Each structure stands twice: as structure tokens, then as C-alpha cells.
Amino acid sequence: MDRHNFLAVDIGNSWYKALASENGILSEYQIPNAIALFDAEFYEKPYDDDDIVFEDNLIVEVKSQAVVDRREIFYIGKGAAKQRDVSLTAFNNQKVDEDRTYLLLFGLAGYHSVLQHPEETEITYSIDQLAVSLPTTQYKERKTRLKDKLAGTHTIIFHKVPGLSEPKELTVKVIINDVIVGAEGACAYLGLTRDQETLGIKDEELVKESQKGIIIGDLGGDSVDFVGIKNNKPVASVEGEPFGINQFLDHIIQRVSKKEMYRFDSRAELEEKLAEGPSGWYVEPFAGVRKDISKYILPQLKSMAIKYLEHFDRVRSSSSEIKGAVRYIAVGGAAKLAQKQIQEAAAKWSDRGRPIELTFPENMEKLNVLGLMILAKMNQLKRDKGSNHIMTTKG
């Protein structure tokens, strides 16, 4: 498998998380889901290229049949988050139909290729298997359209690349030979139960528990994706909900801006602060002035935790296929950020006689992208050997 190139991308509403395996070498990336129009007239040229970090200054132009308007140039990721006209995801956004999906995904693929070939200014990056995810609410009806838009050849031009002479441009031709789409949550199950190298079962106990039923609640930016697992396979009767951490992040950002005169660049900046824990829950609106913002954070995390458990309860009660599930698993970056609050809320549910005992696995924020890499390798193995005996989450 080492001779193949694989790219796995978790298309999150807060972050794009990617794993790339090129000639057996694994690389990991994470960029904020943020874009902003680039205007050369207002670009502030630094005195020295040494002052620029390339990852913080990704300015891309994408030529692809997947993108409606191919004339515009965009900041993506961290650079976009710092722009005044930054565009973040809207509530219940439709990923397949939005240009931002392809700007960020192709831009991230191109960025990886540039890092692998630092001396070249014209690069061809061929991907044998691209694995991407969709929320369960969009998966069934839109996965085929997404595959069709991603497959083929796409050109990414990076502008204002530090360290290059004028016109400071790099061109990457990304060739995607095959695409497989996984459902968020179901990919997390693959990440939990399969080994990255052998692709074999690594958690026999969890697979055994799936005979009685498992429910995975993947809490993300704008959706909570519930997946029921029965006999080691996803069941069809469990659906996700348009609910996630972004609405709570936005409320915190608005309150901090109004009350403490501090403006977060993006949700991603706030999430990074939340990940530090209570010791990092402060801002500095002015030099030497520290403001504790925990009073804005804790009520929102508690509110989100309660609603997350309410969704969990609804799912376990409404799905006939997964009634009597013996394991409830919390996954996703948002669930990790609010783990303490979710556990506290679950304890109160137990006191009321409706216990939801949640498991919080290791690397819970990365399980989807880990599962996507496994899915990519499985799909390639299936193509190479013509094997039909390996379980996948492909519908």
C-alpha cells in the first residue's frame, strides 16, 4: 500500500482535518474553515519574507469544474480568519454545493504537495484515493454528486508565496483518480475498531458489543451526527441533527466583543483557547489588561451539553434497530471541548432515572479522519485485489 498516495479529509464546519499518506509517509494538517476574498490592492506587503509563515498566508486561485467562479482569488484557513471580510460557515450549510468546500479541500491538498516538493514551482500531485466525509443528514442524497465534483484534474495556484521571486506563484495540478465518501460518525467507528496499518480489527470487545448495538454521537460545528452500529455495520434508521458548537461559539464571541472589547478572529481562535482549559480562558483587549472570560464560556458549554444529551436520548428512543444499545460513544472536537460539562449533565440524567453512560475515546477529535484514511486504504485494496469481503461505510 505504500506505493499509493492517499488523502483523507474531514470536511468540518470549524476545521478541515487531513491525513496524507504519500509513498508511505504520513502527514497531518488542520486549518480553520474560513475563506476571504483576496484583493491585491489592499495586500500589505511585508518588509521581509522571513516574517511570513506560508501556512498563515495561503492565497489560492482554483481552476476546477467543481468551482462556479474561477476568476476570484481567496485567502483560506488561518490567513482568511484574520481578514475583515472573513466568511465562516452558515448554519446547516450544504457542503456539496458550496465553492468554499472545494477551495479549502483543493487548497489543502496543494499545500501538502508544496511541502513535499519545496524546490519546485510547478507540481503534479496524483491521489490514488481521496476519502472525504459528509454529515449523515447530507450523506445519502449528496455523496454521488460530491464524488463527481471531486474526481478529475484541478489546478491550484498559490499567490504571494514567501521565499519566491516575483510573481511569487506556485502551481499545483491535483489529479484525483478515485473518491470515496464516508458518513461522519460511521467513519469514527472505523477509526475506533480498525488498525491503520493492517486494516484488521483492533478492538474485538467493541465489535462484539455492536451485536447488541452501539450509538456514536459525533458533535461538530453545525451538526451532531448520530450513527447506530449493529453487528459491525451502520444502521439506516439513525439520522443526524442540524445542531453543533458553532452557535454557542458565536454567542461567546458576541458577548466577549460587547462586554470586554475583544474581537476574536474566528471561531477557530476561540476553539483553540477553549482547548487550553480554564487556565487559558482570558483575553487581552489592551496591552497588559487581562480579562477572564470563563463567565461567558461555561454557561454556553453547559447549555450545549444538555442539548447534546437530549439529542442522544431522542435517538436511542426513536430508532427501532438500535434499541437496547449497550454503548454510547461521544466523538468530535466539540465533544472533547465540552467533555466535563457533558459528563456533569449525564450524571444529572442518571439521578433522574434516565442514565446515559458515555464513553470518551482517545483521539476523539481525530477519529473521523482516521477512519477516512482506513476507508481510502480499504477502497484501494478492494480495487487492487477485486475483493468484496471487507466491510466499508460506502453506501
CATH number of the domain within which 59 lies: 3.30.420.40
Is residue 185 within 8 Å of residue 331, measured between CB atoms? yes
pLDDT at res. 391? 44
> Beta strand pairing status for 233-234 and 224-230?
antiparallel
Instruction: List phi, psi (to 5°) of 147.
Output: -60, -45
The answer to whether residues 268 and 303 belong to one domain is yes
3-state helix/strand/coil string of the chain: CCCCEEEEEEECCCEEEEEEEECCEEEEEEEECCEEECCHHHCCCCCCHHHCCHHHHCEEEEECCCCCCCCCCEEECHHHHCCCCCECCCCCCCHHHCHHHHHHHHHHHHHHHHHHCCCCCEEEEEECEEEEEECHHHHHHHHHHHHHHHCEEEEEEEECCCCCCCCCCEEEEEEECCEEEEECCHHHHHHHHECCCCCCECCHHHHHHCCCCEEEEEECCCCEEEEEEECCEECCCCCCECCCCHHHHHHHHHHHHHHHCCCCCCHHHHHHHHHCCHHHCEEEEECCEEEECHHHHHHHHHHHHHHHHHHHHHHHHHCHHHCCCCEEEEECHHHHHCHHHHHHHHHHHHHCCCCCCEECCCCCCCHHHHHHHHHHHHHHHHHHHCCCCCCCCCC
The answer to whether residues 112 and 131 belong to one domain is yes
The answer to whether residues 49 and 168 belong to one domain is yes
Residue identified by cell 485485489 is: 385
Instruction: List phi, psi (to 5°) of 36.
Output: -155, 140
Own/partner contacts of 346-350, CB < 8 Å, gap of 24 or more, are: 346/309, 349/309, 349/313
* Domain count across the chain: 2
The answer to whether residues 355 and 373 belong to one domain is no
Nearest to 334, CA basis, from 357, 368, 283: 368
Q: Considering the chain, what percentage of its residues have pLDDT values greater than 70?
A: 97
Q: How many CB atoms lie within 10 A of CB 248?
A: 23
Q: Which distant-in-sequence residues (6+ apart) come within 8 Å of 91 by Cβ?
A: 222, 242, 246, 247
Nearest to 224, CA basis, from 215, 233, 211: 215
Nearest to 311, CA basis, from 286, 282, 332: 332
The answer to whether residues 222 and 335 belong to one domain is yes
Q: Which three cell numbers stand for residue 1?
A: 500500500
The amino acid that residue 234 corresponds to is P
Distance CA 287, CA 63 (A): 43
The ranges of the chain with pLDDT < 70 are 1, 236-237, 387-395
Where b means 16+ CB within 10 Å and e means fewer, 345-376 reads bbeebeeeeeebebeebeebbbbbbbbbbbbb
The answer to whether residues 194 and 312 belong to one domain is yes
Phi-psi group of 177: left, alpha or beta (phi > 0 → left; psi -120 to 50 → alpha; rest → beta): alpha
359, 365, 366, 367 alpha-carbon torsion, rounded to 10°: 30
The answer to whether residues 96 and 204 belong to one domain is no
The answer to whether residues 306 and 288 belong to one domain is yes
Full residue range of the structural domain in which residue 206 is found: 184-364
Is residue 89 within 8 Å of residue 222, measured between CB atoms? yes
pLDDT at res. 352? 83
The answer to whether residues 227 and 359 belong to one domain is yes
The answer to whether residues 196 and 327 belong to one domain is yes
Maximum Cα–Cα distance for the chain, whole Å? 68
The answer to whether residues 179 and 216 belong to one domain is no
Q: For residue 46, is the peptide bond before it cis, meaning its omega torsion is within 30 degrees of 0?
A: no
pLDDT at res. 24? 85
The answer to whether residues 82 and 101 belong to one domain is yes
Q: Which three cell numbers stand for residue 213?
A: 448495538
